[in-house]
Amino acid sequence: MAESRTRSQALLKGLTGQTATRMAESVLDGEEDSVMEERFREMCLPPKKKGLDQNRGGEYASFQELIERFISALRTCEVQPFVVLDGGSDPTDRKLETVTKTAQNLIQRAYQAAETGKSKRILPQMAKKVFKQTLARLQVPVAQCFGEADQELAALAAEWNCPVLSNDGDFFIFDLPAGFLPITHFRWWEVKGGPRSYIPCKSYRTSSFCIVFQIEPQLLPTFAALAGNDYVKLKTVSWTQFAPGRSKAPSRLEGLLCWLRDFQKSEDAVAAALGLMGDLDTKRREEIQKGLSEGMKEYKRRQSCLKQFFDHGVPPPFQGSGLVPDWARLALVQTRLTSDILDVLQLQRISLGFAVEPRDRPSVYVISRPIRQVMYGLLLGGEASLQVMERDRDGSHLIYVPVRPAFSETSKRLRLSSLHEAEPSERLLVLLEALGVTEDSLSLFPDELKLPVAVTCFWLQTAQPPPDQTLLKALLLGMSMGVVTGPKTGNHRGAKKPDVGVVYAFNQWQACLKDSVHLNQLLGFPLPEPEIARLYQGTMVHQLVDRMRSGGRLKGFLMNDRTSVDQYHRMLSVVQLHVAARQNQQREAARENQSVLPPDLGADLEKLFLQDGHEEAETEAKSAIKVEEELRLVDRLSVRTRYRTKGRRNRCNKPELARKEDRRGTDLL
């Protein structure tokens, strides 16, 4: 590792003409609640890539491409990036007030996005997962902290003598030997060639800042604490009175910096600041002094806990005896487990996030709650009295919903400490029971589609209002196609406002997918994890819905790939058969709590739909039966070579026949 860092040097040129910086490594900062990905995407985008759609559920393929280009630019300059992400919430809850205000603001922005169709920077639900998956595929070293990443990043930067690349204002305070590179000035899309490639950027150093404002470097943490942080809010002092040029609307921070010029030690500055607050009782004075002291400690550099992990794969210790097993500790640092489990284990609390959704409908996370309850049961064990407080929304209000863990006969036998050692069949059964599907029903699909198909079955049975056939078909067609570069899926200028009902339905599906992915992780991946960027493309799926509802042709969306069309039919058939069979079981008391599909799926399905008497349902049932019969024939019969050869010859000699056959496959959709 040390040799690699020595070799990977790149020249970074400052835009303002300051001394060029040699960079051995770039440490990227991650922020809690996916803010890091949002800032990366919004502030570090090249001009022509700004505005990736967020209101239709996510342009994950475009986001993935952007990350790939970013990492490629760094490697072109022989820069080796190391990514460090935030982990669980602070158990002291010192940030609870700030987090609550941010969450309330997100709720309002989500409503505005749903009502107006305009971008309000609501990060799609699976963006953080796409970010992690892309970095893993590119073999970029990534670590997830147990708590906040700021101090760990500062420690690594000091020990490796490399700058931190981030947009977190805290790094303007940390004393970083190699400086701080704000993302807003890191123009990675403008890689300059030559004997040694470099990226134009701006490099910040605390020493230069202190020279400009004529303050002692050791007073920077005091400046940050007095300016206001998560420990204490000082609203009684008007710092603008100390700023020069007060007639020109002086800055509060500039006034504070001017005031600090008269001090050499932090203790003297804190004592003087308390004096500016007027008469305070002893208790309040002690509270403020303690808060300022704790705030200043946040910027004191410590020894790195992650260096051993990056060098030798050894995870840092967890502060909490026996709370997190060793296997889970390593998986957390490796980002193979979501940091949400730390909040469940430490606080019995979890933040669900917010999606674009109308205010008059329930949160999209309500329908996926049964999946999370299974996860809570595995994490908290057999403690029936425990409950997890889920931070969600009710209308326009932020609420906490008490949710009890759920257990099945299989999950009751499993323990968190030895969960990784449980039989694979048991772990798979827990996941399938949570989603209400059987292993046989997924046997026709490739590994990467098994979990998405199971999630889709769960979504169809729980979503409110129930998704119609158009939504189902558009979703499955998008899955079968993978990443599409044909239609313009990323250009939304002048595009009409998204249909709120469609947005809401697909966000419910993503909520189910997100929670299923997390449960699958906790169970040690009994089903392979799907590549999210190939699974869902929001704009394309919405366009498919519009075309289907208006009776338009789908030719511009479809690939000339019979395999994809067959895959689509297979998914549609199995999902419809499964859901119909489950509905039939619910009607028949004799089949209570049984999720196994009946042997004769076609006959039972046709009987069920004919009893309902719905023309559309009857048509769908017959279509599903036909596809199911075709699938069985494919499994039983082999196609003879001479017929294949004859078919190829006919297509070559009769182009019109070939076009008709292609359209025939399209019409089946």
Residue 496 pLDDT grade (very low, low, confident, very high; cuts 50, 70, 90): confident
- With H, G, I as helix, E, B as strand and everything else as coil, classify residue 622: helix
124 has a pLDDT exceeding 80: yes
475 has a pLDDT exceeding 80: yes
Residue 555 pLDDT grade (very low, low, confident, very high; cuts 50, 70, 90): low
DSSP letter at 652 equals H
Percent of the chain residues topping a pLDDT of 70: 75
With a CB cutoff of 8 Å and minimum separation 6, the contacts of 203 are 12, 14, 18, 21, 163, 179, 180, 181
Cα separation of 260 and 387, whole Å? 48
Give me the mean pLDDT over the 320-334 stretch: 90
On the 0-12 / 13-18 / 19+ scale of CB atoms within 10 A, 181 is buried
518 has a pLDDT exceeding 80: yes
Say if residues 432 and 426 touch (Cβ distance below 8 Å). Answer: no
- Tens-place pLDDT, residues 157-212: 999 999 999 988 899 999 999 999 999 999 999 998 877 899 999 999 999 999 99
At residue 136, what is the residue type? A
Mean pLDDT, the chain, as a whole number? Answer: 80
Whole-number pLDDT of residue 8: 36
In the block, tokens 């935030």 appear at 86
Percent of the chain residues topping a pLDDT of 90: 52
Give me the mean pLDDT over the 658-668 stretch: 47
Cα separation of 297 and 234, whole Å? 17
- With H, G, I as helix, E, B as strand and everything else as coil, classify residue 403: strand
- Tens-place pLDDT, residues 125-171: 999 999 999 999 999 999 999 999 999 999 999 999 999 999 888 99
Q: Which of 91, 70, 63, 79 has its CA nearest to residue 24?
A: 79
For domain 2-209, say whether CATH 3.30.70 is its number. no
Say if residues 495 and 468 touch (Cβ distance below 8 Å). Answer: no
Length of the chain (residues): 669
* Residue, of 332 and 610, whose pLDDT is higher: 332
618 has a pLDDT exceeding 70: no
With a CB cutoff of 8 Å and minimum separation 6, the contacts of 249 are none
pTM (2 decimals)? 0.82
Q: At what angle do helices 469-481 and 500-522 cross, to 10 degrees?
A: 50
- Tens-place pLDDT, residues 328-380: 999 999 999 999 999 999 999 999 988 999 989 999 999 999 999 999 999 99
Give me the mean pLDDT over the 53-69 stretch: 92
Q: Which of 583, 591, 485 has its CA nearest to residue 539?
A: 485
